[in-house]
Amino acid sequence: MVMQEVELRKGPWLEEEDEQLASAVAVLGERRWDALAKASGLRRSGKSCRLRWMNYLRPNLKHGNISAEEERVIIELHEKWGNKWSRIARRLPGRTDNEIKNYWRSYLKRNHLVLDKGCLNRDMNNTSGNTSLTSECGMASPCSTDDGCFLFKDEIFGPSGDSSDALEILSLTRSPYETRLTEWMSNWPPDHIRKTEPKDEYYDEFYTPEWINGDSTWEFSLWDGE
């Protein structure tokens, strides 16, 4: 007798599939996804079932907008760990790696591109360590990027050397995204400040609020000089 392969379904999940999956997980637990997929009667791969459960059906998941505080955690942890989405997600209860990854790629990357047009540049020859605003587009911008570059509030200086100048310049732009970003930057807490003078390799130390698991000291590689 020839075993007939059941063609697996792909694409968006139906409500009844969700219910079937939830029932199966309730009985069998969150493991052996291939076996669970078969036992549940779903025409889905175990991998697909796991993904659906982890990213959508799992209890205590938060659905909805990323809060300002969550955003700050994402930015800081990405600066520290890079694209370790699952690791970052573990610091944000209720958020999935997929959600964070999507958020990063769309929202923050978009801000980076917007601000590239705004042309914020760090002057690498500036021995004072201050960041200057120039008319040329560069990699440095006041948001995290896939390049791993990031400028903090106290690193941004306007022509007079005053960071408020820079924020004012940024606020002159018309894009709502830029407006949101400058608002966000101006709301950074006072304890999120650079504690050390910039080193040649732009490797600074920050104290951050208690909300990251009680750790008091973090280090960030802000600029690799490339």
Partner DNA sequence: AACTTGTCCAACCGCGCTTGA
Partner DNA sequence: CTCAAGCGCGGTTGGACAAGT
Binding site for DNA (CB under 7 A): 9-13, 31-35, 46-48, 50-52, 55-56, 63, 83-87, 97-99, 101-103, 105-107, 110
> Could you give the 3-state DSSP secondary structure of residue 59?
coil
DSSP state of 80: H
DSSP string, 109-163: HHHHHHHHHHTEE--TT-TT--BEE-SS--S--SS--TT-----GGGB--TTS-H
DSSP string, 161-224: S-HHHHHHHHHTS--HHHHHHHHHHHT--TTS-B-SPPPTT-EEEEE--TTTTT--EEEEE---
Residue 218: beta bridge partners?
A: 206
Tell me the C-alpha to C-alpha distance, in Å, between residue 224 and each of 46, 97, 164: 41, 26, 25
- Residue 33 or 150: the one with the smaller Cβ distance to DNA is 33
- Please give the structure tokens belonging to residue 14: 């139906």
Return the axis-axis angle of helices 33-40 and 15-28, rounded to nearest 10°. Answer: 120
CB 178 → DNA: shortest distance, Å? 12
- Residue 96 or 208: the one with the smaller Cβ distance to DNA is 96
CB 148 → DNA: shortest distance, Å? 11
CB 177 → DNA: shortest distance, Å? 8
- Residue 46 or 138: the one with the smaller Cβ distance to DNA is 46
- Residue 86 or 196: the one with the smaller Cβ distance to DNA is 86
- Residue 116 or 123: the one with the smaller Cβ distance to DNA is 116
CB 226 → DNA: shortest distance, Å? 17
- Residue 79 or 97: the one with the smaller Cβ distance to DNA is 97
CB 104 → DNA: shortest distance, Å? 9
- Residue 78 or 122: the one with the smaller Cβ distance to DNA is 78
CB 216 → DNA: shortest distance, Å? 25
CB 200 → DNA: shortest distance, Å? 28
Give dist(CA 73, CA 99) in Å, integer: 14
